[in-house]
Amino acid sequence: MSTIEQLRTFLAAIERHPELREELRRYVLTQELLVLPAAFARQEARLEQVERELAEIRDAVRALVASSQRHEEELLALRELATRQDERIAHIEGWLARLTALVERHHERLDRLETLAERHDERLGRLETLAERHDERLDQLTTASDEHSERLRRLEELAERHDKDLGQLRSAVASLSTTVGTMVEADAVDALLAVLEQKGLRAEELPTSVAVNGELDLVAPVTDEEGRRYWVVVEVKVQLHPRDIRTWLRRLQSEVFQARLAAQGIHPPFLAYVYGQRLYRPALETARELGVGVLSRRGEFVAPAGTVE
């Protein structure tokens, strides 16, 4: 048997008998080498423990990394949020500044309003005092008004009596005026007829009154010695003034007035007179200027300058 085969047989026996392996180790290995397997086993166990701990550490590191990433993202989000908050805070500070200025203005306005309210209170106090005085005066005026009403009632009664007396007086005056007017017109007729006779004019009929937009006091148709026919027209006044003569001549020369006379059968030429119970010198001068005749109870004071066509 060769050496190699012997070695193989020996190794196989060692594999079958562990106790031989241990015995061989004692002969072959030193004490330090003998303890190496156990040390290796312990180191291996420690390495496995270290690997487990390293694995845990790696897991923890990964978790920390993931957490750190999340924290970074959260920090970025927080920074963005902080930026927005800063903007909002700046915006809010601007609003606060404006609100502060507005509040200050409101305070100023409130101060002014308080001052104004104080003045209003003072004015209201004065107005209340004035109103009290007005109430007192109103009471006095009410009393005076009652007294005046009574006096007015008595005055109305007196006025009614006066109205009755005045009506009676007016009636008397109207009656007197009618009487006086009738008497003056009668005097005017007498004076006119006397003057016509003196002038050689023949009255075809007695003078009469004609209603032409009011009353024309006296009219009479006359003829002269040569047979020419006229209408004598006379305005009768108790007192004769210059304005009466001017008014009478303007009316007599009016086409409208002459048309109304024509409707009564009275046609130009007219011999115009004014009769006055009482004559004033300015009236006579005006009559001479205008060419209008003037009659009175004593006869003809001014002769007509001609006829009115």
Given pLDDT bands bounded at 50, 70 and 90, which one contains residue 134? confident
Cα–Cα distance, 206 to 229 (Å, whole number): 15
- Position 186 pLDDT exceeds 80: yes
The neighbour count for residue 133, using CB atoms within 10 Å, is 10
Question: What is the structure's pLDDT at 273?
Answer: 94
Residue with tokens 């004065």: 126
What separation in angstroms does the CA of 276 have from each of 177, 240, 242, 288? 15, 5, 11, 15
CA distances from 227 to 89, 145, 164, 203, 218 (A): 130, 79, 57, 12, 22
Has residue 61 got a pLDDT over 60?
yes
The pLDDT, as a whole number, for residue 177 is 45
Nearest alpha carbon to residue 300 among 281, 280, 276:
276
Residue 217, CA distances (Å) to 91, 181, 257, 272 in order: 107, 10, 14, 12
Q: Give 308's DSSP letter.
A: B
pLDDT tens digits for 28-40?
666 556 566 677 7
Residue 168 pLDDT class (50, 70, 90 cuts) = low
Find residue 221's DSSP bridge partners. 231
Cis link prior to 269 (omega < 30° from 0)? Answer: yes
Q: Chain-wide mean pLDDT for the chain?
A: 81
Q: What angle do CA 151, 154, 160 make, to 5 degrees?
A: 140
**Given pLDDT bands bounded at 50, 70 and 90, which one contains residue 62?**
confident
Name which residue leads in pLDDT, 17 or 166: 17
Q: What is the pLDDT of residue 223?
A: 92
Q: What pLDDT was estimated at residue 290? A: 94
In a domain, 216, yes or no: yes
Domain count, the chain: 1
Higher pLDDT, 78 or 251: 251
Angle at 203 between CA 295 and CA 291, to 5 degrees: 35
Q: Is the pLDDT of residue 178 over 50?
A: no
**Which residue is listed with tokens 């690997």?**
51
Given a contact cutoff of 8 angstroms between Cβ atoms, the answer to whether 279 and 240 are in contact is yes
The pLDDT > 70 percentage for the chain reads 88
84 domain-assigned: no
**pLDDT tops 90 at residue 283:** yes
On the question of pLDDT at 181 being above 80, the answer is no
Q: How confident is the model at residue 301 (pLDDT cuts 50, 70, 90)?
A: very high
Rounded CA separation 202/222 (Å): 5
pLDDT score, position 182:
66
Tell me what pLDDT residue 26 has. 72
CA 234 centroid distance within chain:
65
pLDDT of residue 167: 59
E-strand ranges in the chain read 202-203, 208-211, 215-223, 229-240, 270-279, 293-296, 299-302
Could you tell me the CATH number of the domain that includes residue 218? 3.40.1350
pLDDT at 68 over 60: yes
Coil, helix or strand for 206? coil
Question: Residue 275 is part of which domain span?
Answer: 199-302
Find, among 196, 294, 303, the residue nearest to 240 by Cα: 294
Burial 40-74 (b: 16+ CB within 10 A, else e): eeeeeeeeeeeeeeeeeeeeeeeeeeeeeeeeeee
Domain annotation covers residue 273: yes
Q: Is residue 263 part of a domain?
A: yes
pLDDT over 60 (residue 264): yes
Structural domain includes residue 70: no
Q: Which has more confidence, 296 or 122?
A: 296
* Structure-block tokens of residue 200: 């050689």
Q: Distance between CA atoms of 215 and 205, rounded to whole angstroms?
A: 19
* 98 in a structural domain: no
What tokens were used for 246?
């001017």
Q: Which pLDDT belongs to residue 243?
A: 95
Distances (CA, A) of 13 to 2, 17, 110: 17, 6, 118
- Name the pTM for this structure: 0.44
Task: Specify the pLDDT at position 285.
Answer: 96
pLDDT tens for each residue of 78-123: 788 778 877 877 887 787 788 788 878 888 887 788 888 788 878 8
pLDDT above 80 (res 288): yes
Q: Is residue 80 part of a domain?
A: no
Q: Is residue 295 part of a domain?
A: yes
More confident residue, 255 or 24: 255
pLDDT for 74 equals 77
> Taking a C-beta distance cutoff of 8 angstroms, is the pair 243, 261 a contact?
no
